[in-house]
Amino acid sequence: MSVVRSHLLSPHPLWRTDQVRNNSQVLSASSVKATGWLLVVGQPVAVRDEQLSSSLLTSGAFLILGLIGTFVVGSFLGTRLTRSVECVIEQLEEFKKNNRVVTPSAERFKYAPLELQTVSKQFKSLAQAVVSSQEKLKLSNETLTEQVNLRTASLNKRNEELKSLQLLLAPLEEPPKIVIGKTIERFKEILSLEVLYFTDAEKIPNAENYIAVKSSANEVLGYLCFATVPGQEQASVFSSILRLARSISIVLDNENMFRSIKVDHSRFTALMESMSEGVILIGQSGSFLFFNKKAENLLGITEQTPLNSVEAYLSEGFRTLFSANADEAHLIPHEPGVTRRLVSKTDSDFFLEISTFIVPHFQGYGQRMGLIIRDISKEMSIERMKGNLVSIVAHELKTPITTMRLQAETLDRMISNGRPEDAKELIGDMLSESTRLQNLISDWLDVSRIEAGALVIRPKVQSLSVLLRMAEKVVKQHYPDLKIETNIDKDAQCILVDKDRILQVFINILDNAARYRSSDSPICLVSSSLKGKEIEVSFSDNGVGVPPTHLSKIFDTFYQVDMSNRRKVGGTGLGLAICRGIMAAHGGRIWAECHSGKGITIKLRFHL
């Protein structure tokens, strides 16, 4: 056996010989310092391996026995732990499902670990606290639900009350008393009252409970009387009845106000409509705010008339006659008290006078401007008549007076020269001119009698043919070229008239037919016919005629189609006016018509 020396010198001398395993040994050496010896110990490897195998077998057996023991002990202890855990889980599940706190069985839980017992106790305490909180929360929820239900019922009741009050506060479709009665009945049902009614303010009612219904001026309008049932909350009922009383007060106030406004409006309308002048109120934008019937008639306003602007509407139909400013562009004067005269653009004989006034506090609109419109056509006609009268006097009287003066001067010279025999013809001319003046004065007197209603007639049955021949004879003395053709119906030959007056009418009509001749010879066709219970006499001439717009005016006093000083045909404009007055005195009629061709037709109607 060879030994390596270096092994002896290593700090842990342990080595094996280099023989085969069964023959090899494991050696170890250690130095003994006190003696200086070297101690060497050896053991065969085969022996060591046998010892190790025996040791491993013994250790493996003990290990297996340990594992089996551990498994047995663990199973035993695990079963107890599992049972304890199951008790805790059952405790949790019971609380989760049934919200019930249970205590684990002492038999099953006596070997439970201390930790699980602590967990179970803590959970039980926590669960009991949760259950207690749930009970409190449930009680709170029940209380809150009860309060919500009470509040909801109160709100529903209030809502029903408001719906009932809405009948009063909304525009009423029925009389206020009926609506108030319906609302009171509805409130009686909502509040479950035994008695609820409204009485007038004539006297204080004998009812146990009542609330006064007062106006905005604190005037008692009536009383709401009511009686509650036992157990009702008095404050709530009183509050509801008080709201009803206030709403009824508003309705009655509105009714009184509406009635007052309606009365005021009726008075205002009656006042405006009774005025002989037209009245217009102008809005802030210049539009029609109000106009009475007279203004409607004067301005020709209809339902289809656009009423956007008063100024624009007046400008369409009228123009300014004259104003303080010659260049005034507006027809409406904007200063109170200023008047302006307008003339129609389509009818030169229609005149209006407008003046402005201010309404300081027009109800509901504030300050507004208004117009007063007067029809001054008659005034303008009188002014025109006065001017015409001056023109007629100057035109009609100047010639015969001048002629008579010259004739008188000539006659004076003849007598001074001793030639009286030459004055006879001149005196005849003077008589003719004086007769002309007398006729003119007679016409004026007739017009005066007619206008005063003092024209006296004495009707008798007269022959129409005879009257026409007499009138023809008179007219032909001045107009010998006048040709008259007659066509008298046998059923319309006699009329009941005043001879002299009707003769005057016929003469005036035939005189006009001859005077207002055309270039042709004057011709007048006279005919009569029976029209029911009246006799119609027509005079149709071939003269210059009259424009259609003047037909209704030729019977006015002093009216002539040509009013200028340069007119070719003279005349006073009284003839046809006298004819109209005489026919009216007889109860008849006279009018003029245009016909095809030249001239016009004058028609007269006499009662049988």
Burial profile 348-381: b = 16 or more Cβ within 10 angstroms, e = fewer: ebbbbbbbbeebeeeeeeeebbbbbbbbbbeebb
DSSP 291: E
182 plus 40 within the same structural domain = no
Q: Indicate whether 140 belongs to any domain.
A: no
So what's the pLDDT on residue 604? 93
More confident residue, 19 or 526: 526
Taking residues 301-317, what's their average pLDDT? 79
pTM of the entire predicted model: 0.41
More confident residue, 530 or 553: 530
The residue segments making up the domain with residue 75 are 5-85
Structure tokens at 495: 């009329």
So what's the pLDDT on residue 324? 42
Contacts of 282 (CB under 8 A, 6+ apart): 288, 289, 310, 332, 368, 369, 370, 371
Contacts 24+ apart (CB under 8 A), 436-444: 436/400, 437/397, 437/400, 437/401, 440/396, 440/397, 440/572, 443/572, 443/574, 443/575, 443/578, 444/572, 444/574
Q: Which of 324, 341, 375 is the last residue of a domain?
A: 375
SS3 of 344, please?
strand
439 plus 358 within the same structural domain = no
Q: How far apart are CA 427 and CA 139, in angstroms?
A: 141
549 plus 598 within the same structural domain = yes
Structure tokens at 460: 């008798």
DSSP 354: E
Name the residue with tokens 């599992």: 82
Residue 445 has, within 13 A of its CA and on its CB side, a CA count of 7
Neighbours of 4 (CB within 10 A): 12
pLDDT at 566 over 60: no
Taking residues 90-98, what's their average pLDDT? 75
Identify whether the C-beta of residue 178 lies closer than 8 Å to the C-beta of residue 255.
no
Query: What is the count of structural domains for the chain?
Result: 5
List the one residue out of 328, 405, 342 whose CA is nearest residue 371. Answer: 342
Q: Indicate whether 91 belongs to any domain.
A: no
SS3 of 178-195: the string is HHHHHHHHHHHHHHCCCE
> What H or E segment, with its residue span, contains residue 85?
helix 45-98
So what's the pLDDT on residue 534? 92
460 plus 602 within the same structural domain = yes
pLDDT at 1 over 50: no
Residues 483-496 pLDDT 10s: 999 999 988 889 99
602 plus 459 within the same structural domain = yes
In what side-by-side order are the strands of the sheet with 534-541? Answer: 483-488, 523-531, 534-541, 600-607, 589-594
DSSP 548: G
483 forms beta bridges with 523
Q: Indicate whether 130 belongs to any domain.
A: no
pLDDT at 167 over 70: no
Residue 399 has, within 13 A of its CA and on its CB side, a CA count of 10
Q: Indicate whether 282 belongs to any domain.
A: yes
281 plus 238 within the same structural domain = no
Average pLDDT, the chain: 76
So what's the pLDDT on residue 48? 74
pLDDT at 527 over 90: yes
SS3 of 559, please?
coil
Residues 79-89 pLDDT 10s: 766 777 777 77
574 plus 594 within the same structural domain = yes
Neighbours of 105 (CB within 10 A): 11
Identify whether the C-beta of residue 371 lies closer than 8 Å to the C-beta of residue 354.
yes
Q: Which of 338, 354, 375 is the last residue of a domain?
A: 375
SS3 of 136-203: the string is HHHHHHHHHHHHHHHHHHHHHHHHHHHHHHHHHHCCCCCCHHHHHHHHHHHHHHHHCCCEEEEEECCC
pLDDT at 11 over 60: no
530 plus 417 within the same structural domain = no
Residues 389-441 pLDDT 10s: 555 555 556 566 666 666 677 766 766 676 666 666 666 666 666 666 666 66
So what's the pLDDT on residue 429? 64
449 plus 490 within the same structural domain = no
Among 53-67, 520-534, 546-560, the minimum mean pLDDT is found in: 546-560
437 plus 555 within the same structural domain = no
Q: Indicate whether 16 belongs to any domain.
A: yes
pLDDT at 2 over 70: no
More confident residue, 249 or 563: 249
Structure tokens at 209: 């409970």
> What H or E segment, with its residue span, contains residue 279?
strand 278-282
445 plus 460 within the same structural domain = no
Name the residue with tokens 């005349």: 571
So what's the pLDDT on residue 3? 46
Q: Indicate whether 123 belongs to any domain.
A: no
161 plus 71 within the same structural domain = no
pLDDT at 537 over 90: yes
Could you tell me how many helices (H) and strands (E) the chain has, helices first? 14, 19
Q: Indicate whether 416 belongs to any domain.
A: yes
Contacts of 493 (CB under 8 A, 6+ apart): 463, 464, 465, 528
Q: How far apart are CA 518 and CA 529, in angstroms?
A: 28
CATH of the domain at 309: 3.30.450.20
Q: State phi, psi for 273 to the nearest 5 degrees.
A: -75, -25
Identify whether the C-beta of residue 376 lies closer than 8 Å to the C-beta of residue 548.
no
Structure tokens at 20: 């085969």
Q: Which of 428, 454, 480 is the last residue of a domain?
A: 454
Q: How far apart are CA 555 and CA 591, in angstroms?
A: 8
CATH of the domain at 507: 3.30.565.10
